[in-house]
Structure 1
Amino acid sequence: WLWSIHRHKATLSAAPNFAYELCLKNIRDDDIRGLDLSSLRMLVSGAEPVSPSTIERFTRRFEKYGFRPEAMAPVYGLAESSVGLAFPPVGRLPIVDRVEREAISREGVARPVKKKDAASVEFVACGRPLPGHQIRIIDQSSWELPERREGRLQFKGPSATKGYFRDEEKTRALFDGEWLESGDLGYIAGGDVFITGRTKDIIIRAGRNIYPHELEEFVGNIEGVRKGCVAAFASSDPGTGTERLIILAETRIEDTEHLDALRNRISVAATDLLELPPDEVVLV
C-alpha cells in the first residue's frame, strides 16, 4: 500500500484504523528504505472508530518518510449516506478533543479538560458535513441538542438512501421524519462531529456509559494480549437490573499460571481506566 503511494505519487488514499495499526506493527524500517509519502495531500481514516493514539503514532513514525501531519484526515460516513458524510478541511491538522470522563459517561456532556489521565477520555474530530448535507444530535425525545451534548446522530442530504431494498420494517426504523438514524452516538463542537460510539454497543453499568472501543484499545496494549483481538461487551444481569461487563481477549499464552497473571493485569488495567472492575475476563 505505502509503496504503491510512493510509485504512483498518490495524493489521496484511505484505510480503516486497523490498517494504520498493521503498518505500525508489521513494517520494519528496512522494508521501507527510500519510501517517499510526500505526495499525499490527504490520507483518510474512517470506516471504524479512529484512535487518537493510532494517528499520533502513525504520523510520528512515517513523518521521516515525507508524510505530513496535516495530511492525516479522520472522517465519518456510512453506507446509508453513500459512504461519505463528514470530512475535515484539506490540510488541517487532526483535532483531538479531551473531555472529562465522568461528565460524558454519566451526563452526556463533553466538558473539555487539559490533563491527560484516567479521568479524561479523547475523541477525534471527524470533520464537517459535506456540502448539501446536514448532521444533528438529538436526545431520546428527538429534541435537538446544543454543542457538546452527546446524543443520537441523525443526518440528511442528497447522498442519503431512500431505504433498504425489500425491507420495509428496517426502512421505517431508519427514518425520523426527513432525518435518517445513523445508529451512532456523538456530539458536535466547533462545527466538527465527534463520534463516541455505536448506540447498540454502549454498555450501561452503574448509571454510566462505557465505550467499548476505548476499553478494547487499552486492553490490546497489554503485553500478552493480541492487539486488535479484544472485545468488550455487556451481558444483562436480571439479578441486579444492570449490565455485566465482559472482556474477551485473545492471547498466545498457554501456561495456566501466566494466564491467571494476564487475566489479573487486564482486570486491574480496566479498573484503572473506568474506575469500575470488569465482571469477567475471558482469555481465548
Structure 2
Amino acid sequence: MIFMSVYIEKYSTRAQELLKYMRDIRLAATRSENWATYDEQFRLKIEKNPNLSWGNIHGEYWLLHITSPTVHNSVSVQSQGYRTNTQNRGNYNSNAATLSNNRTHKKSQGLSGGTISSYISGVSYHHKIQGIQDTTKFFIIGKALEGIKRIQGGKRNDIRAPITVQLLSDMISCLDKVCKNKYEAALFSAVFSVAFFGLLRVGEITTSKSKSVINGSNLTISDILVRRKVLELRVRWSKTDQKGKSVTLLIPENGKNYCPV
C-alpha cells in the first residue's frame, strides 16, 4: 500500500492502472497464499519493461501462482478420458495448470510425446476459434512436452506388422470361414483389396456414426467405375484433402484371389 502511494504520487498519470493492480492483488490474496510471489514477479517484470500496464493481469504468472489446479475447465474433445477421471467438465477455456495435469494424465496412459502434442493442438484450436487466450503456448506447457519427449528418447518402434500381399491373400481366403454369409465375405474382400491396392486410409473407405452420410464425404456406388481391367475409384475426401477437391484412383486387375477388380 505504501509502495503504491509513493508510485501514484510520482506517476499520477498511471493512477488508474495502479488502482486496478491493487484490486487484482486483493483478489489474488483471497484465492492463493502465493499472491506475494505473483506480486514480486509482476513488479520485476514492470521494472524490466516500464511500458507494461499495471492494469493488466499477467496471464502466465496468474495461472502459475494464483489459479488452483482443480479449476473445473475441460480441455478438449480428445481429453474426454481425463475429464471423466478428474471430474473436469466445463467449456473449452483451459488454464495452464489444467493443461499440465492433462499432459501428466496422458503420459500415464503410455501415450507418446507426439500424440500428446496432437491433443494439445486440439485444445489450441478450440481456444483460438473462441477468441480465448491460447494457454497451450505458455512456457511451462512447452517445457513439459519437451521433457516428455526427451524422457521417451525420440520415436518409439512401431510393433505392428505390415500387411503384405501374402497376408492379404491369406486374410481373404479365410473370410468364408468367419463371415456369416457370402455377401459379408465379398464385402470384406472388396474392402481389404481396394484399401490395399488403393493405399487408402481406413477413414477414406469406411464411415462412422460421427460422420453424417449427408455431408458427401462417404464413398458411394457413384464413386466407382469398372472399365476394362481397371477400377476407377473417386476419393471425395481424405486427410490431405480437407476441402473435398477429390482425386480419382486407377487400380488395375491382377487376376488373383485378392484382385479388387
TM-score by length of 1: 0.27
Bigger helix fraction: 2
Q: Give the structure, 1 or 2, with the largest relative contact order (CA under 8 Å, sep 6 or more).
A: 1
Structure with greater Cα Rg: 2
Bigger strand fraction: 1
TM-score by length of 2: 0.28
